[in-house]
Chains A and B, each alone.
Chain A
Amino acid sequence: MTGWIEALGHFLGRCAETTGYGLVLLCRTILNLPHLFTRRRMRDCLDLIFSYTLGSFTVTAVVALFTGMILALNGGDSLASLGQENLIGRIVAISMIREMGPFMTALILTASLGSGIAAEIGTMKVSEEIDALEIMSISPVKFLVLPRMIALTLVTPVMTIFAAFIGILGASIVAANNFGVTWIAFSNDALENLQLGDVHIGLIKSVVFGVTIATVGATQGLLTRGGATGVGEAARRAVVITFLLVIILGYYLSWWYLS
């Protein structure tokens, strides 16, 4: 019994420590924002934007296409039984832009980029490269975390818009082929019912998710301990924690928008 309580206390202590570290890291990154506007940091940032976009482009396109198709297939089937299949456009468009696009993109970027950031910074930590930076009076926050956070914060909304567009495209193909809803009817229904607020909340979510993915990845990377095993553990923890935060934050942002 005592051992169980001790383990729980240790776990909660560790959670509090990691949360505190992550929040301080986020604040320090924001305070270092003016350092972004130097030639070297801008170049680092642009390189990362390019590599992040390229690295997640294909998987995002495939997942978004099939998500849109699945949404149209399931939604269309239910609507067809009521003779309302012409409403597929609005259902798919609103879900993809407001909810599924940001959520799905965040999950893809967490798995591909968030874990990558944790592993990259974690490897640097265990191979003493972070120590080397500190000895050279180079802030790891300014040098490593800032460009990654900015790049991810910019890439996530772009990939979210791209995912939503591809998802809607996939849904329109299913709507036309399986339910006889023409592209014109599909897009008219989608555009007439889509509100600017839906786009806004989708973009707000994607920015919040981008910051979350980068912060958790960098935090886990900087807290890495224990060699190669520790690097793997940091990447795994980054993915798990970000998934949980994305779903929780997603719910509260939707609640805030709808209320």
Chain B
Amino acid sequence: MRFSVKKVLLIFLLAASNWLQAQQVSEYALKASWIAKFASFVEWPNGQMQADEFRIYVIGDNPFDDLLDLIYKNRRLKKRKIKIYYIKNLEELKRCEILFISKSERYNLSKILESTKNKGILTIGDTRGYAHRGVHINFYSVDNRLKFEINEKEAKKSGLKIDALLLDYGKII
């Protein structure tokens, strides 16, 4: 039996070398990249954006590690320099364009959404049920493909206009 076990292991390893051609990518690297795409296809209400910076806040446990910093270093969005902030508490939240709400905040979600209401902040999450509860864009995955759902109604309430192309790719709830 021990012969067979090792042979199976060898076959698995060698086969894996070939399968690598399939090129899977890191879940959070892809989510970080999507954030820029969302920003490009969302219009913020007049006067709601800051003049100098495009601010992205991450509230709660940071699932991106340093991916956001690495990807958005020296980049611009809406002709503004991108600044990333990581916060643990709602009290630290200041004026911003995008707020990524981590899974760790699901028991505070109502408070967070209350405080971002009508402030022109695009809220993004990646936790089951977030879009139903009022988060504007929520990631989910099916069979290793990243997808997202859009709560268009709540986005409209916040004064955000989501481009039809983005609505086509997302699941509207």
Q: Do A and B come from one complex?
A: no
A contacts, CB < 8 Å to B: none
B contacts, CB < 8 Å to A: none
